[in-house]
Chain A
Amino acid sequence: MHLAAQVLAGNRLALARLITQIENELPEGWAALSELFPHGGRAHLVGVTGASGTGKSTLVNHLARWYRLEANGCSPRRVGIVAVDPTSPFTGGAILGDRVRMRDLSGDPGVFIRSMASRGSLGGLASATASVVDAMDAAGFELILIETVGAGQSEVEIARLAHTTLVVEAPGLGDEIQAIKAGILEIADLLVVNKADRPGVENTERALRSMLQLAGPVGRVFRHHGRHEYTTGPGPQPGQTQGWVPPILRTVATEGVGIAEVGQAIERHRRALEESGDWERRARARLGSQLDSLLQGALVARWRESLPEIEYQRILDRLVERRLSPWQAVKQLLDGNLE
């Protein structure tokens, strides 16, 4: 049986090997994933992001457990987890330590945890993360938790990938002005104040609430190479009285406090997405983004192959000597002249 068939049959080693092939950009990986792709599109993708030290991994651990327990009111779902940690820009290596917090999930055949290094990607995810998630989706994992690198405010890539994005904060990690800065807080479908047993939790919650009120409910706009892609805002829609306003939830993840409420909020968000049509809209935006990014890479690589290296270096030399501007250099390379 070849790899794609093994993955569909539930072979976990096959899934692990496929993920490695995808990460290493091997053609056999893309081929297998292409076979598997029609079987995907069903998983609920939940992103978990937030600064280091907020307790993301512990939260992911407990959320996954909640989804696995029948006591939560729905039947247990198979849970995939992708945890991304930063690659050192100097050595190219990485310490992937998120599994340390996920001991409770070991031995459960309905859970699959994969650690990924960012391998130079900025924005909180590795470039292969979306494809790895596709593989888990096709393999039958119904809920996929994606934990980002967690470096801070620029980590908005997750919002493009996930249906539901959780932003995790913790008391005392920064002053209230941080909450109002653009970026990470705008992508939240749920705001979680973890380590809520620490002093300052009321201030943190208040700062987040005031940020939400300032921003007001707006549609999600993805600006993508000068084009705008819209999803519906949580303003009144036909047949609806109220849109989705991100709830602020308190948790003490290490003790499992508040986890059920987060799980239930995630489920409510999923229903809201389905009812408003945003589930499809976001999927379209996500796949469009993935298509564009792959296209860009492939086009440039293909075009570069046809360009003699010496010509490229010659133009680069002229650029360095400031006899050409960068824009002229591009025109020269693409059109062969400066007209």
Chain B
Amino acid sequence: MSERKLRVLVAKPGLDGHDRGAKVVARALRDAGMEVIYTGLRQTPEMIAEAVLQEDVDAVGLSILSGAHMALVPRILELLKQNGQEHVRVFVGGIIPNEDLPRLLEMGVAGVYGPGTLTEDIVNDIRQAVAKAAHAGGD
């Protein structure tokens, strides 16, 4: 069997309705050989955590353009922890002001990506982060 397939959830938490970025990333991950569970718009943190659990994903990509990231991301991280899924790497993309980056990374977010990010960078970061998490005893 060739190397294990990575499963990644791509979700848009909150109320913003612009999903072009999320879809671009989803396609890029697919083209990189990953299995992308695309859950679409208007996901609550609870819905996202539930999907992360049922789908047993390696990583989550959250697309947030509404500015609500400092409310949504901690809630999602907390739910993942409650469910026993701290090893799942969380990536955030969208409109994230620079001053929020340190706090997000401190919370445990594995990567933050603004407009203009190259999709290959996201792909590589996900692969590395998941490999590191696996070595740290995730599997």
Contacts and interface: CB of A to CB of B under 8 A. Distances in A.
Interface in B60-98: 83-85
Given A13-B84, A19-B56, A20-B56, A91 B50 contact: no
A299 interface: no
B5 A107 contact: no
Given A112-B54, A114-B55, A13 B33 contact: no
Interface string A70-114: 000000000000000001100111111101100100110000111
Given A25-B1, A93-B32, A94-B30, A113 B56 contact: no
B32 A94 contact: no
A88 B5 CA distance: 13
A96 to B, nearest CB: 5
A143 B55 CA distance: 19
B47 to A, nearest CB: 4
Interface string B7-26: 10000000000000000001
Interface string A105-149: 011000011110101000000000000000000000000000000
Contacts of B26: 95
A24 B4 contact: yes
Given A94-B36, A100-B38, A88 B30 contact: yes
A113 B5 CA distance: 19
Contact of B30 (A12, A17, A91, A119): A91
B63 to A, nearest CB: 14
A16 interface: yes
Contact of B5 (A12, A17, A95, A117): A117
A12 B56 CA distance: 10
Contacts of B27: 95
Nearest to A109: B50
A100 to B, nearest CB: 4
Contacts of A113: 51, 54
A19 B85 CA distance: 16
A16 B31 contact: no
Contact of B53 (A12, A93, A96, A103): A12
A99 B30 contact: no
Interface residues of B, number: 30
A16 B56 CA distance: 6
B39 interface: yes
B46 interface: yes
Contacts of B85: 13
Q: How large is the interface on A (under 10, 10 to 19, 20 to 34, 35 or more residues)?
A: 20 to 34
B26 to A, nearest CB: 6
A312 to B, nearest CB: 19
A93 B34 contact: yes
B27 to A, nearest CB: 7
A58 B4 CA distance: 31
Contact of A16 (B5, B33, B38, B55): B55
Nearest to A18: B56
A260 B126 CA distance: 44
Contacts of A20: 7, 56
Contacts of B37: 96, 99, 115
B7 to A, nearest CB: 8
Contacts of B30: 88, 91, 93-95
Given A93-B36, A117-B35, A103 B5 contact: no
A335 B44 CA distance: 62
Contacts of A99: 37-40, 51
Nearest to A20: B56
Given A25-B1, A119-B5, A96 B38 contact: yes
A26 B27 CA distance: 28
Contacts of A91: 30-33
B112 interface: no
Interface of A: 12-13, 16-17, 19-20, 24-25, 87-88, 91-97, 99-100, 103, 106-107, 112-115, 117, 119
Given A91-B33, A93-B33, 9 more contacts: A25-B1, A91-B30, A93-B29, A95-B30, A96-B35, A96-B36, A100-B40, A115-B35, A115-B55
20 contacts: A13-B53, A13-B83, A13-B84, A13-B85, A16-B53, A19-B56, A20-B7, A25-B1, A87-B35, A91-B30, A93-B35, A96-B36, A96-B38, A97-B38, A99-B38, A100-B38, A107-B46, A112-B54, A113-B51, A115-B37
